Amino acid sequence: MTSPSVKRALISVSDKTGLAEFAKGLVECGVEIYSTGGTKKFLQENGLNVNEVSAYTGFPEMMDGRLKTLHPKVFGGILCRHDNPSDMQGLEEHGILTFELVVVNLYPFQETVAKPGVTMAQAIEKIDIGGPSLVRAASKNHAFTTIATNASQYAGILAEIRANGCTSLETRTKLAAAAFAHTAEYDRAIADYFAGVTTEDGFPGSLSLNYTRAAILRYGENPHQKGAYYIASNAAATGNIVNAVQLNGKELSYNNLMDLDAALADVKFFKKPAVSVIKHNNPCGLAQADTVEEATRKAMEGDPLSAYGSILGVNRVLDKASAEYLAKPGHFIEAIAAVDFTPEALEILTTVPKWKNNVRLMKVGELTQSSQWAYRPLDGGILMQEADVLEDDSADWKVVTEAQPTDKQREDMAFAWDVCRMVKSNAITVAKDNMLLGAGAGQMNRVGSVEIAIATAGDRINGAVLASDAFFPFPDSVERIHNAGIQAIIQPGGSIRDQEVIDACNKYGIAMIFTGKRHFRH
């Protein structure tokens, strides 16, 4: 099959990123451009001669732009099969021109409904009608018509036209696949919006999650498993690992991505500079301080043994002093995700330590709040819930013991409580001076988690506090906590044995706070 020369392009876009340069390149190649509304005005303002679609069809734009391109003289030129004599004769009889290139992206529906307070009327006006029709028509006829739906495609299309006067069938097929995915995602967003506004609980009647493959990984969790990662269509542009810029190091693995995501999630809540040290998706070290360097040092020293070969998350720009500390002999870091790296820090981390060539350095940009929703896959299904992004108000906490926590203990309890929500249940954290000293994670009973956290804290435990992500079902843990030297506990409360636990704290002079809320992380 011979690819038709690109003689004419129909351009109608909402997002005009890169459009002026692309259109100028097309004109230089002798391509005639037809356009509508705001796109036509934009191209003319950039010095381009553009044919008006309404002048060509003989039918004016109507209804505030709702009706512009839905005309046989437009769709006939897109859908015609260039090797079909009947199709081409029909065009000639009715004065229809061919359009070998269609450049369309759609009204920003997703962006509009994501804004707070948007009304149904405002949302409806961002439902594109002509755009999806043009995209689908061009995609259906990709044997002869090239469809562009994203600015990232412009350069490749223009390069082929400059070289050959046309695009290849392989390119047109790939572009058609991308275009059908684009309209499917668009329609799914509209369906989800209407399902959401027509239900009382806010959950859509049906759920379709749209992701684009970003990379094929070397393997999954284990070498015998294949792996890939995908980016959600509504993912924030910054503040997450999927849109981070890799500044150094080897290719990211499946487990790297899991741990980097956890590392960022663990520091987003903190207002001060904070650093997390992640091992197997749990924080083995976490600290906040007045400087990034101090937070880095305290986080790494929380559990030095586990910190070897760890992954770090930093909620600030990583600076020279922090890099100098990390590059000291005896430290080994797999990857670091930070808002950014100073030039001095980047120089140190990529030239000084033995692991300089391998460490993955990920610039994530300003951290943003996590998604409103959280999903967990099941075999044959999926769980959906509101994300646990609730910021607890300490004014709602209740001291339930005779002993009252000191101001210093309250500060450490608040920190330990914030860290505890990051640890897999049953979660126990021991902290002092805004520094995690020990964590018990993922144990089948709370006593086991207590033992692990206390053992990890070691002889630093005197004066520390302990947080539990759920209530203590029995008072035996309190006795163990007392014997270790801890004098303050923070937990949700809510057990039928609460009074027994309170009595045990009173017996040992331990101060205890009930938060009234729990933060399980299964």
Q: Return the active site residues.
A: 140, 280
| Location of structure tokens 């002798």 | 30
CA angle 332, 337, 341 (to 5 degrees): 95
For residues 88 and 95, what is the distance between their CA atoms, to the nearest angstrom? 11
What torsion, rounded to 10 degrees, do the Cα atoms 257, 259, 261, 263 define?
-150
Task: Write out the two tokens for 232.
Answer: 């959600």
For residues 286 and 313, what is the distance between their CA atoms, to the nearest angstrom? 9
Secondary element (H or E) of residue 321: helix 320-326
Contacts of 361 (CB under 8 A, 6+ apart): 246, 247, 248, 249, 335, 336, 338, 341, 346, 349, 350
Preceding peptide of 426 cis, ω within 30°? yes
For residues 461 and 484, what is the distance between their CA atoms, to the nearest angstrom? 7
User: 228: closest CA among 252, 194, 262, 199?
Assistant: 252
> 299: how many CB neighbours lie within 10 A of its CB?
29
For residues 385 and 221, what is the distance between their CA atoms, to the nearest angstrom? 25
Reduce the DSSP state of residue 178 to 3 states and report it.
Answer: helix
Reduce the DSSP state of residue 211 to 3 states and report it.
Answer: strand
CA-to-CA dists, residue 497 to 120, 215, 298, 420, 508, angstroms:
50, 51, 36, 22, 17
| Location of structure tokens 């269609």 | 102
